[in-house]
């Protein structure tokens, strides 16, 4: 098991080596219940990794415990990949095309950099979203 600082080093090295332009504003690796409005805090305690997600006003909206550092990596990738993909969409928007087409494509590209398992999970998630809410082109 990695200490909180070692976990931070592992995750930031993995992410920064595979994704350009990552903002770490909403991700913290600090021991205890550090509040990160609109983001996450991860830390090691009592032989397990802990994660806490916060709403925009600082209320805890999610808590979890795991013994897998890869799970923490996955949660961080979820957070930063969407931000990077949405920024890419903003700058590459095609009028009349559902923005999710570009966003989902960019997210899949990013997830593929972390291996087949990451990619397949994201692909299944996107397919589930689209089964409930198909693309709606001809929107602004």
**138 assigned to some structural domain:** no
Residue count of the chain: 140
Query: What's the confidence (pLDDT) of residue 139?
Result: 58
**Which pLDDT tens digit goes with each residue over 102-117?**
999 999 999 999 999 9
How far apart CA 106 and CA 93 sit, in angstroms, is 12
Burial class of residue 87 (count of CB atoms within 10 Å of its CB; 0-12, 13-18, 19+): middle
Give me the number of domains the chain comprises.
1
**Which pLDDT tens digit goes with each residue over 66-84?**
999 999 999 999 999 999 9
**Which pLDDT tens digit goes with each residue over 3-44?**
999 999 999 999 999 999 899 999 999 987 789 999 999 999
User: CA quadruple 84, 106, 97, 93: dihedral positive or negative?
Assistant: positive
- Domain coverage including residue 30: 4-132
**If we measure between CA atoms, which residue out of 15, 30, 48 comes closest to residue 40?**
30
**140 assigned to some structural domain:** no
**139 assigned to some structural domain:** no
Query: What's the confidence (pLDDT) of residue 63?
Result: 95
């Amino acid at each position: 098991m990695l200490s909180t600082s070692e976990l931070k080093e592992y995750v930031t090295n993995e992410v920064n080596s595979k994704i350009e332009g990552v903002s770490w504003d909403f991700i913290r690796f600090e021991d205890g219940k550090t509040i990160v409005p609109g983001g996450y805090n991860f830390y090691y305690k009592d032989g397990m990794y802990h994660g806490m997600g916060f709403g925009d006003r600082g209320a805890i909206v999610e808590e979890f415990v795991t013994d897998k550092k890869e799970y923490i990596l996955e949660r961080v990738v979820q957070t930063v990949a969407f931000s990077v993909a949405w920024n890419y969409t903003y700058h590459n928007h095609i009028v009349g095309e559902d923005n999710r087409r570009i966003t989902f494509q960019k997210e899949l590209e990013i997830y593929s950099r972390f291996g087949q398992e990451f990619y397949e999970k994201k692909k299944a998630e996107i397919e589930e979203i689209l089964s409930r809410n198909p693309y709606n082109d001809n929107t602004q």
